[in-house]
Amino acid sequence: MENTNNQKIALITGGNRGLGKDMAYAISDAGTHVVITYRNGTDQANEVVADIRKKGVQAAALQLDVADSSSFAAFKASLETVLKDELDARQIDFLVNNAGIGHHATFAETTEEAFDNLMNTHLKGGFFLTQTLLPMLNDGGSIVNISTGLARFSLPGYGAYAAMKGGLETLTKYQAKELGARGIRVNIVAPGAIETDFGGGVVRDNKEVNGFIASQTTLGRVGLPEDIGGVVAFLTSDASRWITGQRLEVSGGMFL
């Protein structure tokens, strides 16, 4: 059932900081109303909401831990309430599965606890949150999953993290196949190394790491958050209406 006022609404997990924050800004620039989630950082989330509202676009924020699938039913109920009370809507049009955590440890040193946390956050979380929200996603909508360049190239210490993203890339193709009958497009964006606080901000703050990555990138620099948001916004727009089941790497040409 479509929203009565024909407004488009996007849900972006982890939209209070980093890449998710830029995705929220880029998507709202197109006039799409936005609901972001955050695990921690209420003040950050409220700031993003306030920034978006200044554009004349509606926005809201909800707390969610994507690693806790037992909370998804309650989250769906909260989302329904927020949509009704704050956005005068019942459905969403776009879902961006962005929320994630970083982890750096060699294969030999990766603990089962760390592995499970990565799996619950990136793979299980993305799988079952999308499943939970399917009844709220309008036909003809779009799902954008977020992967990593590390699923294509290998750097020591990221095996467990990249394995989860590789699983999500495969899942994306199956989601596209199965949801195509509803006109729902599903694609996955794989950022390269980006200057954010992700992983402790090592790419942004460590000059040696930053310089090495820049030297291995065809365009000669490390990525910035604003390099990613516009690509995700494109995949939620009518301009990408004939694109589904695709992996789009946004890395400036790393390790070509």
What is the rounded average pLDDT of the residues 172-191? 98
Distance CA 93, CA 141 (A): 5
| Token pair belonging to 205 | 């703050």
Taking the CA atoms of 79, 65, 123 and 149 in sequence, report the sign of the dihedral they define: positive
| Token pair belonging to 180 | 């195509």
**Three-state SS at 247:** strand
Its pTM stands at 0.94
What is the rounded average pLDDT of the residues 183-202? 83
For residue 164, how far is the Cα from the chain centroid? Answer: 14
Alpha-helical runs (H) found in the chain: 18-29, 42-53, 72-86, 112-118, 125-133, 159-179, 202-205, 207-215, 226-235
131: left (phi over 0), alpha (psi -120 to 50) or beta: alpha
- Number of alpha carbons in the 13 Å side-chain half-sphere of residue 90: 7
Dump pLDDT digits (tens) for 78-132.
999 999 999 999 999 999 999 999 898 999 999 999 999 999 999 999 999 999 9
Give the residue from 201, 188, 45 showing the smallest Cα distance to 126. Answer: 188
Structural domains in the chain, sorted by start: 9-250 (3.40.50.720)
Query: 1 pLDDT exceeds 80?
Result: no
Dump pLDDT digits (tens) for 207-247.
777 888 888 899 999 888 899 999 999 999 999 999 999 99
| Token pair belonging to 53 | 């509202």
Dump pLDDT digits (tens) for 164-180.
999 999 999 999 999 99
Residue 73 carries which DSSP code? H
| Token pair belonging to 61 | 């924020």
Give the residue from 196, 182, 78 showing the smallest Cα distance to 146. Answer: 196
| Token pair belonging to 92 | 């969403």
Distance CA 73, CA 207 (A): 44
**Three-state SS at 222:** coil
pLDDT of residue 196: 67
Which residues, in sequence order, are CB contacts of 47 under 8 Å at separation 6+? none
Distance CA 224, CA 191 (A): 10
Q: Known catalytic residues?
A: 161
Strand duo 9-12 + 33-38: pairing: parallel
Which residues, in sequence order, are CB contacts of 217 under 8 Å at separation 6+? 192, 193, 223, 251, 252, 253, 254
Contact 237, 30 (CB under 8 A): yes
Task: Name the residue with tokens 């399917």.
Answer: 134
